[in-house]
Amino acid sequence: MSKLNKLLFNKYFVAILWFGLSLFAVIKQVAHHHINNYDIYKYVYFNLIDQHNLYNEQPQFYFDSNHYGPLFGLVIAPFALMPDWAGCIIWVMCNALILYVAIWQLPFTVNQRLAVLLICAHELMTASFNVQFNPCMAAIIILTFVFVNRKQDIWATLMIVLGTMIKLYGIVGLAFFFFSKDKVKFIWSFLMWLVVLFVLPMVVSSPHFVIQSYQDWYDSLAHKNASNAISTMQDISVMGMIRRIFKYPELSNTLVILPGLLLFATAYLRFKWFSNLQFRYLLLASTLIFTVIFSTGSESPTYIIAFTGVAIWFMNLDRPVTGFEIFLLVFALLITSLSPSDLFPKYINKNYIKPYAFKALPCFVIWLRISYEILTRKFSPNQTENVVLS
């Protein structure tokens, strides 16, 4: 192994790179900017305990409005009680840590886990620079998969409900329902957590306010969905690409999402492979990418979720990988991950990538490739769910 390979696959180097890039990004933000996203987050907690509408604009404190569920107020609470600079930095580093731990739980080899971290490190920095919750959401989806794979359905359903009641994306964890060996347990534990986490914010607020907040949340998301189509910062999705390339803002999301959902669902036709670990990894990668590329709420920092799926797909390929598969990874690294950064030509990003939502394109192509693999790949019969790699 060359010196470069030894360095790249040194777990201490990878950890320093992973956390160092995120720390650099958030310190740069804290030092030079008023962190609007963090202000939105912390006021979810303060508004929850003061019983002020969670979704009204509060221009005296921040711009834009909150789009997270009432439960998020409890998640952000420990950070909101700190000085802003400390709370913001620790919040970002906790998100990075949770995703790091989640990736490390995948039953890959050590080198495969390190490769996933390396592939995703720059995309994580983008999310960290924007002080986003998305790394944690990626971790929630991965941990749902991990817990189902370990037959720990109670913890898997906790992840699903937690993610859903914070940002809705967590509901995609239900994609792993058919991998459960005890579906009755899965269902009753899902309902149990639904009740527990619905009630939990009432401890610091009131039942009436929390119930009303869920109605307000629905209205807020409906309004946001309508406004995303005319924003260059949101709707970085398949629908967004079509709308912008063909100058067709009236495009119905259903016309795109429904075929995508049907293609996604074809994975369940190969039910005889449900216990195969390679098949499961493909569905995990497909789920992570699908969640982002078919959401009008997707923005650049959201792509840490999809990019984790890209990395998992690449590590799950049969070796040796083909030239086309390497091209797809490089295509994703350049257009999806590097395009918003100073490492990419600003002219191309400003005039082509952003206006046409091309950040979504490589992930969409890879998702189509994954869908094809799910339907046609010949899986090794020895790679069962019980295989744990070290």
- Categorize the per-residue pLDDT at 342 as very low, low, confident or very high, splitting at 50, 70 and 90: confident
What percentage of the chain carries pLDDT values higher than 90?
82
pLDDT tens, 284-321? 999 999 999 999 999 999 999 999 999 999 999 988 99
Domain ranges of the chain: 3-376
| Nearest-angstrom CA–CA distance, 131 and 162 | 20
In whole angstroms, how far apart are CA 186 and each of 1, 144, 150, 161? 45, 12, 13, 12
pTM: 0.94
Angle subtended at Cα 362 by Cα 357 and Cα 368, rounded to the nearest 5 degrees: 115
* pLDDT value of residue 370: 97
Q: How far apart are the first and last CA of the chain?
A: 19
- 352 and 358 in contact (C-beta within 8 Å)? yes
Q: Is the pLDDT of residue 384 over 80?
A: no
* pLDDT value of residue 255: 96
Angle subtended at Cα 284 by Cα 383 and Cα 334, rounded to the nearest 5 degrees: 110
- 182 and 153 in contact (C-beta within 8 Å)? yes
